[in-house]
A and B are shown apart, each in its own frame.
Chain A
Amino acid sequence: MVFVIRRVFQSLVVVLVMSLVVFVGVHLVGDPVHILISDDMTQIEIERFIQKLGLDRPVHEQYFHFLANAARGDLGNSFVFGEPALKLILQRMPATLELAFAAFLLAIVLGIPLGMYAGLRPESPASKAIMAGSILGFSLPTFWVGLMLIMVFAVMLGWLPSTGRGDFMTWDGLRHLALPAINLALFKMALVTRLARAGTREAALQDYVKFARAKGLSPARVVLVHVLKNILVPVVTVLGLELGGLIAFSVVTETVFAWPGMGKLLIDSIQRLDRPVIVAYLVITVLMFVVINLVVDLLYSALDPRVRLKEAKA
């Protein structure tokens, strides 16, 4: 319990520092006013708009104004959309979560078995193919792979829709989900495969595996219960962190596939210097990472009895 409370307190400090950095950073980057206004506006109309947004005041004043509002749960209104930044983000969150979890699932369901296979039979041609594939998965740029997927499956073969999102959990929705999910999963899948392979190779040589075999357990049980359980700790750690990344920064995939999620909102907001949305987005992201890390820590102790959360104090 103390552990959880301390975590929450730490995260508040992180959020505060982050909001300050982003606030000042965006202020230095440029001025949203000239991006938002139409050409025809007169000088007086422009001044009126700047005042309305409070951009005529010094940055520190704007920041304290923001903090005062944030304390009441109001993260400000988007300069572009005129609606609460939080509402805009939450509106787009389901799309991103759908995409992120689909990709996450793909990465686990395909990555772990492939990695374990490659770890158990390191010399077989199939294993070598898997490992070569994982290198490609690591090194090919996401936007390029995304465009290639569109070219092949949407333009040339016409099997799947090129861009956009269908309704959740319908046939049409799944068809729209397929390409972006694969695109987003590729990198994570490569990562999981390599982690699983390394873990399996290490575990396969250990005494408990030999002992289990000697005891006459079926190979399936040895691999699926004993080995699998032992390679999960590093996989869970990495995946935990990666899940946060998947949700918060699927920007490229969402842009290429015109997926109406938070990532697209973030990149659009950065381009238009829509500060309230950028700050709100990063506040939510930090909170999400904190929660995920907490869950990962709790999972550790479930997976590996040697880990005691109290030790983290040292």
Chain B
Amino acid sequence: MTFDRSIATAVLFFFIGAAAAQDLRIGLASEPTAMDPHYHNLSPNNSLLSHLFESLVGQDERQRLTPDLAESWKAIDATTWEFKLRKNVRFHDGTPFTADDVIFSFERAPNVEGSPSSFGIYARGKTFTKVDDHTVHIKTAAPYPLMPNDVSQVFIVSRKHGQGAKTPDYNSGKAAIGTGPYKFVEYTPGNRIVMQRNDQYWGDKPAWARVVFRGIKSDPSRVAALLAGDVDLIDEVPATDMARLKKDPKLTIAQTVSNRIIYLHLDHFRDDSPFVQGKDGKPIKSPLRDVRVRRAISMAIDRDAIVSRVMEGQAIKAGQLLPEGFFGVSSKLKPVGFDPNGAKKLLAEAGVPNGFRMTIHSPNDRYPNDAKIAEAVGQMLSRIGIDTQVVTMTQGVFFRDASTGSPDKGPKFSFILVGWGSGTGEASSPLKSLLATFDRDKGMGASNRGRYSNPQVDKLINDALATNEDAKRADLLARATEMAIEDVGIIPLHYQVNTWALRRGFSYKPRTDEYTLATEVGKAN
């Protein structure tokens, strides 16, 4: 054993030469699409760019808000928020950070050419005013309690370098000047991103002098790169490899629950739901509109089996929209228990004792094991008499049809499996998008593909979104969640688990938002 190891070490040194001790090498499942922090509002981009850039408000590993470039913030009247900026912060080129940079960044963020997913949602409808060099006021037309959450999503760039700069200028590094703990060194799309420690950083100095990120999309290759010692840390560890990696004495695992829920959405708004038929194949009035049928479906699902068998333990069964500990979740809601007999009774009460026919649609390349979960659900429903056909497809087709596939540009399916990650880290995000009544002009219910609509739930959500006081807002959100879940607006299945694997001697503080941050990687000596 020791002999083996000494040979291995010798070979390692001979071939590789010792990598500098302060280098950190990270293998990422998803690469960012640009180095422009306002180009693409997507986890891989935001995660990587938070090394170079910072926001006024940060999010910790459980997505609680923390002071970042703003030292403090408060609502000074019903519609105005005041942000006090941190003093003595400098950009990587040495220019001081001031309110001008903040105003500039929020002006730039919604207007990036060709941006596939714009930061406009966080900046539009707000008026930014510089009070002095270190104070900014943000005004909205109506009270807006989510201001700090919104502000935490937009990175502050240097005005000096950002003026007129387009996305390619950031990709080349010319404009990629931020205030963050790391400085831009190299970006080769498809290959690697290299960063150097910012020795003038205002906060805690990061442990690693140089960080190399490499995109290794293929799961087995990413694991192999870690096993071979070519990278020190990988994210999105495939569930199939977990058992083996856990046993490996050369590795450590870091995991935590994710802000992403996997859930089922059912058709609430059509009597003639397109993928629901009677047992004889003839059209029937959709039983999905009856809350007892929806509840029966939820009771027929064995969430423990899905978590342990399909997800190989890499998930936590869910009873609401976000796991415990997040802002605005209900303390009363628990996962619905597995009760096939009770489910059959409910079906009988609802007038469909023999069940009916239905199709579940699911993507097969979007969430871990998505197609397999749909198959499991289909089998479980068939057991209580709802003959369920399972149709899975690639995400490009699935999301188009699920959102706008019907002849009148509405949802095409009756019963779907989807997921939702709450970027803001609080319950208004899923409530607003999944359960509020679909309303294009108000921007509500954008992903409400079942068209669930309950005026009381809408009122609670709207009240919450107009309440600046945290405790009161949390309570309103929890009550909205309880009401919508009681109604079975959606059927929660499980929360995903985020997993990182590291070489022994390294540690990682796992995060709910799936971000992989070099600043959170420690040396466990």
Residues of A at the B interface (CB closer than 8 Å) are: 29-46, 48-49, 52, 77, 79-83, 88, 91-92, 95, 147, 150-151, 154-155, 157-165, 175, 255-258, 260-261, 264-265, 268, 271-273
Contact = CB atoms under 8 A, between A and B. Distances in A.
Nearest to B41: A38
B299 to A, nearest CB: 28
A40 B154 CA distance: 14
B493 to A, nearest CB: 17
A82 B221 contact: no
A158 B221 contact: no
A157 B11 contact: yes
Given A45-B120, A92-B190, A164-B225, 13 more contacts: A31-B400, A40-B423, A43-B443, A49-B117, A81-B34, A158-B12, A158-B15, A162-B221, A162-B225, A162-B228, A163-B214, A163-B221, A164-B214
A150 B27 CA distance: 16
Contacts of B40: 36
A264 B188 CA distance: 14
A83 B214 CA distance: 21
Contact of A158 (B114, B216, B228, B441): B228
B39 interface: yes
A169 B134 CA distance: 51
Interface of B: 8, 11-12, 15-16, 27, 33-34, 39-42, 113-118, 120-121, 167-168, 171, 188-192, 214-218, 220-222, 224-225, 227-230, 365, 394-400, 403, 420-421, 423-424, 429, 433, 440-441, 443, 446-447
A36 B220 CA distance: 25
B395 A34 contact: yes
A39 B230 contact: no
Pick from A42, A48, A157 the residue with the most CB of B within 10 Å. A42
B41 A163 contact: no
A38 B47 CA distance: 14
Contacts of B420: 39
A303 to B, nearest CB: 38
A158 B264 CA distance: 46
Contact of B192 (A30, A37, A164): A164
A83 B167 contact: yes
Contacts of B12: 158
A30 B222 CA distance: 28
B220 A147 contact: yes
9 contacts: A36-B40, A40-B121, A48-B118, A52-B114, A154-B225, A155-B228, A158-B229, A163-B221, A164-B192
Contact of A155 (B121, B192, B227): B227
The 5 closest A-B pairs by CB, nearest first: A30-B396, A34-B399, A42-B443, A82-B114, A260-B191
B351 to A, nearest CB: 36
Contacts of A39: 420-421, 423, 429, 433, 447
A116 B386 CA distance: 66
Contacts of A82: 33-34, 39, 113-116, 167
A306 B352 CA distance: 81
B190 A29 contact: no
B221 A258 contact: yes
Contacts of B429: 39-40
B249 to A, nearest CB: 15
B15 A79 contact: no
Contacts of B11: 157-159
Given A82-B167, A163-B224, A264 B190 contact: yes
Given A35-B395, A164-B214, A264-B190, A49 B116 contact: yes
A170 B218 CA distance: 26
B396 A32 contact: yes
Contacts of B400: 30-31, 33-34
Nearest to B110: A45
A4 B8 CA distance: 57
A91 B446 CA distance: 37
Most buried by B among A31, A41, A162, A256: A162
A196 B403 CA distance: 57
Contacts of B440: 43-44
A272 B44 CA distance: 15
Contact of A34 (B16, B228, B229, B403): B403
A36 B326 CA distance: 26
B498 to A, nearest CB: 16
Contacts of B8: 158
Contacts of A88: 189
Contacts of A77: 114
Contacts of A162: 221, 224-225, 227-228, 230
B111 to A, nearest CB: 11
B224 A30 contact: no
B41 to A, nearest CB: 4
A158 B121 CA distance: 48
B33 A81 contact: yes
Nearest to B14: A159
A261 B191 CA distance: 9
Nearest to A77: B114
Contact of A175 (B15, B113, B218, B224): B15
B433 A147 contact: no
Contacts of B399: 31, 34-35
A174 B39 CA distance: 35
B41 A255 contact: no
Contacts of B218: 255-256, 258
Nearest to B227: A155
A245 B86 CA distance: 57
B365 to A, nearest CB: 7
Contacts of B42: 36, 38
Nearest to B402: A34
B446 A151 contact: no
A307 B501 CA distance: 61
B224 A42 contact: no
Contact of B191 (A30, A165, A256): A165
A49 B39 CA distance: 13
Contacts of B447: 39
B418 to A, nearest CB: 10
Contacts of A29: 394, 396-397
B250 to A, nearest CB: 11
A163 B225 contact: yes
Given A41-B446, A164-B230, A271-B365, A265 B190 contact: yes
B221 A147 contact: yes
A23 to B, nearest CB: 15
Contacts of A158: 8, 11-12, 15, 228-229
A7 B279 CA distance: 61
A150 B224 contact: yes
A155 B224 contact: yes
A42 B448 CA distance: 11
Contacts of A175: 15
